[in-house]
Chains A and B, each alone.
Chain A
Amino acid sequence: MPIAEVENALVSGDFADRQHDIYRRLREESPVYWSPALGQWLVTTFDLVDEVLTNPRLFSSMGAEMGHINNLDAAVREENTMLVDHFGVAQLNITDPPEHTRIRRAFGRSFVPRAVASFEGGIRAAADRLMGASIADGEVVDVVSRLAEPLPVEVVSDVVGIPRSRRGDIPSVTMDQRHFFGTTPPDPGRAGHFGRNLAKWHELLTSWIDERRLRPRDDVLTRAAQMIDAGQLTLPEAIATCLHLIIAGNGTTTASIGNTAYLLLSHPEQLASLEEDETLIANCVEESLRFESPLPRDRRTALESCELGGEIIGAGERVVCVLAAANRDPAHFEDPDRFDIHRSYTPQQHAAFGRGIHFCLGAPVARLEVAVAIKSLLAHVPAPRLDPGFEPEWHSVTTHRGMVSLPIRSSRIRQ
């Protein structure tokens, strides 16, 4: 496939089915590639991705969201001031040092190892509740809707402190954000819906933060209230970052639970070794994150003109680090297209959670959550099998990598 074909494939409807082939072509032939159709550079080797992501002074995390909002008509923007109010303030994922360092420190305490270890019991209880009674032989279960979608909503709500009565509203704001930023040029109708949704969440989060001042709990909202009162954080920054945690902790983990289950079921010998030795689960999660990275791309903006991998990047140009491609770079992983839960991992060896200062804040929670979800699934579905000839249907967005559904069945009797 000549490079023109790769360019067409990047914007074609069946991109998701071919992503690893296309990324491999780019990595081998043009690891720093300017896509005219996307108006972005795509960076596809591990070392170059690492170089961009560990250099935040040159490659900024700011600007992309506001740039998208600024492409709306002025009238639509004025009608939906909440979009500007929300994305215009410093928040964790779309800001640079020193603001980023201050906000990261403020929220980091909620995700230190001891805090995360204390979440395990709650995650296990939620997963077991969702799986319910054991699945009967032959009964079909959709892993995505049964477990992978609802579990992260429960977990992120527990961690942040969202009351049960409002958890049902989380998928709607998650989808709003994904669709608003996933549609170019921005859709005024979606902007309106997203703007109203954001306004509602701002009101709710403000009232919950106020409540925590009177009745502190062990959650992120309490931490936010304390940081605001200590002058470390403004209320708009706290709200924007809380909402970011809710949205970010949700779709990516859903994708990862589904991907891990699918990879195990489509590699029965790997599933068998995991069932034999449960301690392989942590490694299995790492390998799944590497092999089907739930967040395939991480975007930056070059602040100055610079050289990267022999190409000249212009000031202000978008540079997209393809984490999914870095994670299959043969220079960094032996036999990268082989899924193998026995691969030995050193700390943070793959790039699925990003690299450098924006390394996923919730990574330890996500890792624990995927591991607990898979163990619960295997405990509730004896001898799980995919239907013969099952082909995954991947979501057709490039912003995350996950399956639409994953029907599995128990086949104990026919063993």
Chain B
Amino acid sequence: MGVAQCVAIAPEAFEVNEDGYSTARLDPIPPQFIEKVRKAARACPTGAIELME
């Protein structure tokens, strides 16, 4: 919803789009960023990030 906690925590994997919303920029996620993406998912206020493993 535009909180961008994921962009702050894992900028390699998320970005803010033109409308001000956060979107995933990497799919699949390279192994070196997996931990950061897990943390970003934990930090999302609305639980909007789901990691499919």
Q: Is A338 an interface residue (CB 8 A)?
A: no
B1, B20, B44: most-surrounded residue (chain A CB, <10 A): B1
B42–A348 CB distance below 8 A: no
Say if the beta carbon of A111 comes within 8 Å of chain B.
yes
User: Do B5 and A355 have beta carbons less than 8 Å apart?
Assistant: yes
Interface band, chain A: 20 to 34
Look across to chain B and name the residue whose beta carbon is closest to the beta carbon of A106: B46
What string of 1s and 0s marks CB contacts (under 8 Å) between B3-29 and chain A?
111011101000010011100000000
Nearest-neighbor residue (CB-CB) of A351 within chain B: B8
Q: How many residues of B contact A (CB 8 A)?
A: 20
A104 and chain B: residue at smallest CB distance: B45
Q: In the complex, what distance in Å separates the CA atom of A363 from the CA atom of B1?
A: 12
CB contact between B42 and one of A108, A113, A347, A356 (< 8 Å): that residue = A356
B1 touches A54 (CB 8 A): no
Judged by a CB distance under 8 angstroms, whether A55 is at the interface is yes
Min C-beta distance of B24 to chain A, whole Å:
15
Are B8 and A357 in touch, CB under 8 angstroms?
no
Tell me which of A105, A111, A112, A348 contacts B8 (CB under 8 A): A348
Q: Output the nearest chain B residue to A50 by Cβ-Cβ distance.
A: B9
Bound Cα distance from A346 to B7, whole angstroms: 9
Inside 8 A of B1's CB, which chain A residues have their CB?
A: 108-109, 111-112
A244 to chain B, nearest CB (A): 15
Pair A101/B4 contact, Cβ less than 8 Å: no
Our pick among B7, B45, B47 for the contact of A347 (Cβ within 8 Å) is B7
Beta-carbon contact of B2 and A364 below 8 Å: yes
Residues A113 and B21 in contact, CB atoms below 8 Å apart? yes
A305 at interface by CB-CB < 8 Å: no
Whether A113 contacts B20 in the complex (CB less than 8 A), given A105-B46, A108-B45, A359-B45, comes out as yes
Q: In the complex, what distance in Å separates the CA atom of A346 from the CA atom of B22?
A: 13
Q: List the A side residues contacting B47 at CB < 8 Å.
A: 97, 101, 105
Q: State in angstroms the CA–CA spacing of A346 and B5 once bound together.
A: 11
Nearest CB of A to B37, in Å:
13
Expressed in whole angstroms, the Cα–Cα distance for A97 and B47 within the complex equals 9
A:91-130 near B, CB below 8 Å: 97, 100-101, 104-105, 108-109, 111-114
Instruction: Report the bound CA distance from A163 to B47 in whole Å.
Output: 33
A283 CB to nearest B CB, Å: 16
Q: Is A349 an interface residue (CB 8 A)?
A: yes
Q: Which of B7, B19, B21, B44 contacts A348 (CB 8 A)?
A: B7
Residues of B within 8 A of A363 (CB): 3
Name 18 interchain pairs, CB-CB below 8 A, sorted by A.
A54-B43, A97-B47, A108-B1, A108-B45, A109-B1, A111-B2, A112-B20, A114-B19, A346-B8, A346-B11, A347-B4, A355-B5, A355-B8, A355-B43, A356-B43, A357-B5, A358-B45, A359-B3
15 other A-B residue contacts (CB within 8 Å) besides A54-B9, A114-B19:
A54-B42, A101-B47, A108-B46, A112-B2, A112-B20, A113-B2, A113-B20, A113-B21, A348-B4, A348-B5, A356-B5, A356-B42, A357-B5, A357-B45, A364-B2
